[in-house]
Amino acid sequence: MSVGLSPPIVVLPVKGIRLSSVCANIYAKKRTDLTLIELSEGSHVSAVFTRNLFCAAPVQVAKLHLQEYKPRYCLINAGNANAGTGEQGIKNTRSTCLALAGLTTCLTGEVLPFSTGVIGEILPVDKINLALPELIKNLSSNSWLDAAKAIMTTDTIPKAVSKEIVFGDTVVTITGIVKGSGMIRPDMATMLAFIATDVNINKDLLDKILLSAVNKSFNRITVDGDTSTNDSCVLISTSKAKNKCINDEATTEYKLIESEVVNIFCELAQAIIRDGEGATKFLTIEVKSGKNEKECLAVAYKIAESPLVKTAFTASDPNWGRILAAIGNSGIQDLDINNVQVYLDELCIVENGQRAPNYAEAEGKRVMLQDEILLTVNLGDRGECNEKIWTTDLSHEYIRINAEYRT
């Protein structure tokens, strides 16, 4: 079940990108689980990865390959995370990269590997390598949606966003796919994200756009507060569009492409939350009037990751005392609670650190029954910083999904 999310209908091809997905029999049930993304020669690639110290073998290998090579392929498997597998995991990842290189004109280091699935299981290298010829044969510019389906794990719906923008007389395309549903927490979430554009832009500015976009999107979501071992986010520019190369961030063209990429990232990030494991609510938490980003996010995440708050939302129970407790436990030592205000949508429920004089619980219940809710916390006159994150409630279905994940 997802909240306000529908399957993508039109996913636009990006010049210079071809994709393919096949069944490599990594899962016990038959489904597509292996994907290849081919990048045209000369493409720029920017990427960020999980900060979890137990990062998976493919993350380690991809980081090394990015340091020395210009990638030509992304090889992605679902059903097996290849994490917690030691040196054998590294060897297995390199083996799949080597096998793909042997079937194409690329070098082993020009392959970026990605995995998602169960942690601690040995990667089925033979199955993956056996499926590579079919994967290469089926490459097509129109296979974005197939790829979005193949990288899913506990996701209930494929996630893809596409847009065309105009630079003068040049049309530029941006298309992205993402997977992620649980084990979601910034730095970055149990997610794999692949976003490509044909805009002509230099590598340094592409790097800058990626960091800006991730900070405003994938590092602003949480389902359960757990950061995965395999998180990876890749931004690709094939430079196949005919616009003059963007080399200056002060230009109108740069500002436009940055804005549109950020919007795509935010849509994909919110899609993860809307499809969060067991989610029945899509919650936006906005903290206003903070001194800085750090304290605003501290309050937002303390609320978003409180099991008591999340289960109250599941029950549509306007138990505002749980919200106050989370705010007070967010680590702001000099917070004047008498200046704090809390709103559910436009309804003020807390004012001057206590229940608002005109608040009626029936009105709070009315808002809590909605599928989508905005929770706003105003910290008073501490500063001008405002920050926003997205999260879910915590339902019985979340527990079932994770209790049965390996059974």
pLDDT at 202 > cutoff 60? yes
Q: How many domains does the chain have?
A: 2
Q: Is 82 in contact with 123 (CB distance < 8 Å)?
A: yes
Write the pLDDT tens digit of every residue in 165-200: 998 889 999 999 999 865 445 454 458 999 999 999
Write the pLDDT tens digit of every residue in 38-53: 999 999 999 999 887 8
Q: Are residues 261 and 315 in the same domain?
A: no
Q: Are residues 326 and 264 in the same domain?
A: no
List the one residue out of 53, 65, 118 whose CA is nearest residue 96. 65
Active-site position among 190, 229, 238, 376: 190
Rounded Cα distance between 54 and 16, Å, is 34
Q: Which two tokens stand for residue 112?
A: 């970026």
pLDDT at 289 > cutoff 50? yes
Of 274, 293, 320, the position where a domain reaches its end is 274
Q: In this structure, what is the dihedral angle of CA atoms 362, 368, 374, 378, given to the nearest 10 degrees?
A: 50
pLDDT interval class at 226 (50, 70, 90):
low
pLDDT interval class at 1 (50, 70, 90):
low
**Position 208 in a domain:** yes
Q: What is the pLDDT of residue 8?
A: 92
Q: What is the pLDDT of residue 38?
A: 98
Q: Are residues 184 and 261 in the same domain?
A: yes
183 phi-psi bin (left φ>0, alpha ψ -120 to 50, beta other):
left
Cα–chain center distance at 372: 19
Q: Are residues 49 and 175 in the same domain?
A: yes
**Position 253 in a domain:** yes
Q: What is the pLDDT of residue 188?
A: 47
Q: Are residues 295 and 182 in the same domain?
A: no
Q: Are residues 264 and 124 in the same domain?
A: yes
Domain CATH for 175: 3.60.70.12
Q: What is the pLDDT of residue 190?
A: 58
For all residues of the chain together, what is the average pLDDT?
92
Of 214, 247, 274, the position where a domain reaches its end is 274
List the one residue out of 10, 241, 1 whose CA is nearest residue 144. 10
pTM of the model: 0.92
Q: Are residues 135 and 270 in the same domain?
A: yes
> What average pLDDT does the segment 270-277 reach?
88
> What average pLDDT does the segment 50-71 reach?
92
- Residue type at 264? I
Please name the residue that has the structure tokens 């630079």.
167
Rounded Cα distance between 336 and 350, Å, is 14
Q: Are residues 205 and 62 in the same domain?
A: yes
> What average pLDDT does the segment 215-227 reach?
81
**Position 49 in a domain:** yes
Q: Are residues 82 and 221 in the same domain?
A: yes
List the one residue out of 20, 253, 17 whose CA is nearest residue 136. 20
Q: Are residues 242 and 382 in the same domain?
A: no
Q: Are residues 236 and 291 in the same domain?
A: no
**Position 11 in a domain:** no
Domain CATH for 309: 3.10.20.340
Q: Is 151 in contact with 181 (CB distance < 8 Å)?
A: no
Number of CB atoms found within 10 A of residue 81's CB: 26
Of 274, 296, 320, the position where a domain reaches its end is 274
Write the pLDDT tens digit of every residue in 129-167: 999 999 999 999 999 999 999 999 888 999 999 999 998
**Position 2 in a domain:** no
**Position 231 in a domain:** yes
Write the pLDDT tens digit of every residue in 317-360: 999 999 999 999 999 989 998 999 999 999 999 998 899 999 99
Q: Are residues 136 and 104 in the same domain?
A: yes
Give the structural domain span for 386: 282-403
Write the pLDDT tens digit of every residue in 351-365: 988 999 999 999 999
Q: Is 190 a catalytic residue?
A: yes
**Position 10 in a domain:** no
Number of CB atoms found within 10 A of residue 307's CB: 11
If one compares 189 and 370, the residue with the highest pLDDT of the two is 370
**Position 3 in a domain:** no
Q: What is the pLDDT of residue 10?
A: 86
